[in-house]
């Protein structure tokens, strides 16, 4: 079984949604740099203050900042059986830093969704600030309006989920993150997953890759 995993894909591809389900099923942690940075921002820590401007503009936070928090997280005892990186690495230098730190991956799951659907997903998203779960006004509404199904917290609209900031996030993705597909393809680790359709169907596509290893 492949348990050292990374989710790759544009904003709104469903990385977080699928990573959270998979993490529960495999009982391994989901490590979302976006969630970690948003938590630091909400707490007003020096890291959060540094990251806030980049995030609100839809730009990537500098590599050295993100690499530092991921290395620290991967030193935790709970990653011994595996982990799901969600939103990291996001640049070739981040991927190189991960490899240099001795962290090996078993599979990089590249989730693809057409651009117009990404926009509709992002502008209708409702997010849980406590556990990171994502819902959607139309596609995937919470059971009780405004409340997270998973942990009961009040749902919010992420500050970077406007149409304008989404455009910048997509440009950052295309310029800096998309080249990671070739990077991991060269290393024999890339697996493509079609990211449209029901959540369970996409999860099953990912499970096929995980279970085949």
Q: Which residues are catalytic?
A: 15, 90, 125, 158, 169
Contacted entry of ligand AP5, Mg ion, none for residue 21, CB cut-off 5 to 8 Å set by kind:
none
Query: Are 108 and 6 contacting, i.e. CB atoms less than 8 angstroms apart?
Result: yes
Q: In this chain, which residue has its C-beta nearest to ligand AP5? A: 34
Binding of residue 90 to ligand AP5 (CB under 6 A): yes
Query: Are 6 and 190 contacting, i.e. CB atoms less than 8 angstroms apart?
Result: no
Nearer to Mg ion, 25 or 100 (CB): 25
Q: Which of 9, 28, 47, 69 binds ligand AP5 (CB under 6 A)?
A: 9
- Using CA atoms, how far residue 15 sits from 7, 75, 204, in Å, is 6, 23, 14
Exposed (0-12), middle (13-18) or buried (19+): which is 104, by Cβ within 10 Å? exposed
- Taking CB under 6 A as the criterion, which residues in 112-141 touch ligand AP5? 121, 125, 134-136, 139-140
Residues lying near Mg ion in the complex (CB under 5 A): 16
Q: Read off the DSSP letter of residue 78.
A: G
Per-residue binding letters, 160-189, with ligand AP5 (x by CB under 6 A): x--------x--------------------
How far apart CA 213 and CA 27 sit, in angstroms, is: 17
Query: Least distance from C-beta 130 to ligand AP5, angstroms?
Result: 15
């Amino acid at each position: 079984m492949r348990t050292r995993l990374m989710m790759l894909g544009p904003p709104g591809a469903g990385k977080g949604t699928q990573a959270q389900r998979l993490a529960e099923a495999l009982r391994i942690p989901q490590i979302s740099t976006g969630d970690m940075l948003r938590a630091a921002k909400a707490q007003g820590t020096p890291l959060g203050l540094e990251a806030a401007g980049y995030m609100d503009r839809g730009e990537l936070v500098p590599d050295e900042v993100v690499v530092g928090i991921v290395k620290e997280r991967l030193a935790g005892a709970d990653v011994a059986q595996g982990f799901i990186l969600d939103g990291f690495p996001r640049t070739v230098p981040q991927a190189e830093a991960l490899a240099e730190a001795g962290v090996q991956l078993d599979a990089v799951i590249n989730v693809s969704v057409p651009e117009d659907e990404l926009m509709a997903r992002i502008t209708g998203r409702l997010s849980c600030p406590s556990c990171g779960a994502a819902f959607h006004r139309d596609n995937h509404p919470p059971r009780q309006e405004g409340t997270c199904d998973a942990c009961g917290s009040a749902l919010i609209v992420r500050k970077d989920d406007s149409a304008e900031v989404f455009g910048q996030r997509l440009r950052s993705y295309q310029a800096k993150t998309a080249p990671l597909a070739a990077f991991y393809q060269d290393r024999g680790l890339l697996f493509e997953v079609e990211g449209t359709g029901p959540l369970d169907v996409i999860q099953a596509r990912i499970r096929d890759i995980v279970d085949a290893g």
